[in-house]
């Protein structure tokens, strides 16, 4: 059940509350990505301590390894990974269409080969929902087709038609007790595809709606446009989820466009390359500029890494390939993303979100270097 608690008077931002079998989620919310049943480099205790309310699991990857037999025997995904809070599982559609080099689209799903060993596999609405039922996730996503950016109009139209048809098949499948199911809107940046796709899905009465087909290689302005096209067609009384997005600045802008839920691999992915997210932008900790800098990764941050270790030490760990280095940056980046969402919710509650948005975007520079303990803009 979703409760819309407050709407911003200046933007389309919303403050809400989503109730699931494993707990209540305050929105807007960022969901750390646990593709293989774990958020890379972080343990459940750390995630809970930094304020994580819900994490993601991946239908495609978990169905291959460890496999449904093992997860079912463990009592579901929550018990298998010892995660007490809500879990959202994607349907595997994105992985099928992005990882599989050889695939054949059928009426009721896709024949493809495993990216691991080339073994033949089939995944469609029935199979995706059965896997998610076994996983026991709180929120399951319908099986959809996510075409790449730059595909032809004909390909995009066929993808939308399949997405609508497959959503109907997903709607008919049994669910785990209390499991919510979200529809996924496709259609690129074409309003003649996005609008009808959203309208068709809304008629199916899903528990929430996702904006899919974004963050697939398109420029940022096209990504924003896809969200803007879709949002007016989505019910105000249900949650809206932008899949696979984005940078901290993009999250703020997408909240202003009416989105409630987000996930993205960026916080931990770039951490493994030694890049830190801050409220002012990103910078590379591996660089020599911080070798004698004994301040925290980000001034004013209260995460475990910033409270206890210096940039100079974290840089040293990264440069000698010590695992602790990437863990500390992963902790900081994940905490930073969650803190941005906490700040957004606080400003929505106080009626000051528009001011927060202006200040955050004005100060956020995507790439920065660090000199003498402060961030300076790099020349583009």
Which residues are designated catalytic? 90, 263
Name 110's bridge partners.
Answer: 105, 123
Is 44 in contact with 81 (CB distance < 8 Å)?
A: yes
Rounded Cα–Cα distance for residues 51 and 53 (Å): 6
**365-371 sheet: strands from edge to edge:** 275-278, 281-284, 365-371, 374-377
The answer to whether the Cα torsion of 290, 294, 299, 302 is positive or negative is positive
Q: Is residue 44 classed exposed, middle or buried when 0-12, 13-18 and 19+ CB atoms within 10 A define those classes?
A: middle
Residues belonging to the chain: 380
Sign of CA dihedral 133, 135, 141, 145: negative
CA distance 190 to 293: 49
Which residues have a Cβ under 8 Å from the Cβ of 117 and sit 6 or more positions away? none
């Amino acid at each position: 059940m979703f409760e819309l608690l407050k709407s911003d008077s200046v933007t389309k931002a919303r403050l809400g509350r989503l109730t699931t079998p494993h707990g209540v989620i305050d929105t807007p919310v960022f969901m750390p990505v646990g593709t293989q049943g774990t958020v890379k480099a972080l343990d459940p205790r750390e995630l809970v301590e930094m304020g994580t309310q819900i994490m993601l699991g991946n239908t495609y990857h978990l169905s291959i390894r460890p496999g449904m037999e093992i997860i079912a025997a463990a009592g579901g995904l929550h018990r298998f990974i010892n995660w007490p809070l809500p879990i959202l599982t994607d349907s595997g559609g994105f992985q099928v269409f992005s990882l599989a080099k050889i695939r054949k689209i059928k009426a009721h799903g896709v024949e493809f080969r495993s990216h691991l060993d080339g073994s033949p596999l089939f995944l469609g609405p029935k199979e995706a929902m059965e896997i998610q039922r076994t996983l026991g996730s709180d929120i399951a996503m319908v099986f959809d087709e996510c075409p790449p950016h730059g595909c032809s109009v004909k390909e995009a139209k066929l993808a939308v038609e399949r997405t609508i048809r497959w959503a109907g098949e997903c709607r008919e499948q049994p669910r785990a007790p209390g499991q919510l199911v979200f529809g996924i809107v496709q259609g690129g940046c074409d309003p003649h595809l996005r609008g009808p796709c959203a309208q068709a899905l809304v008629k199916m009465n899903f528990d929430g709606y996702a904006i899919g087909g974004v963050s697939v290689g398109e420029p940022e302005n096209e990504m924003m446009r896809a969200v803007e096209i879709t949002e007016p067609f989505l019910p105000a009384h249900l949650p809206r989820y932008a899949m696979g997005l984005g940078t901290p600045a993009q999250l703020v802008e997408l909240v202003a466009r009416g989105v409630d839920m987000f996930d993205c691999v960026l916080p931990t992915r770039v951490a493994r390359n030694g890049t830190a997210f801050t409220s002012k932008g990103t910078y590379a900790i591996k660089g020599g500029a911080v070798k004698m800098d004994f301040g925290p990764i980000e001034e004013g941050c209260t995460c475990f890494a910033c409270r206890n270790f210096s940039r100079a030490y974290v840089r040293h760990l990264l440069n000698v390939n010590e695992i602790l280095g990437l863990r500390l940056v992963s902790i900081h980046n994940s905490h930073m993303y969650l803190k941005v969402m906490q700040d957004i919710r606080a400003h929505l509650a106080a009626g000051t979100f528009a001011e927060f948005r202006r200040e955050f975007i004005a100060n956020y520079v995507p790439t920065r270097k660090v000199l003498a303990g402060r961030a300076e803009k790099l020349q583009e």
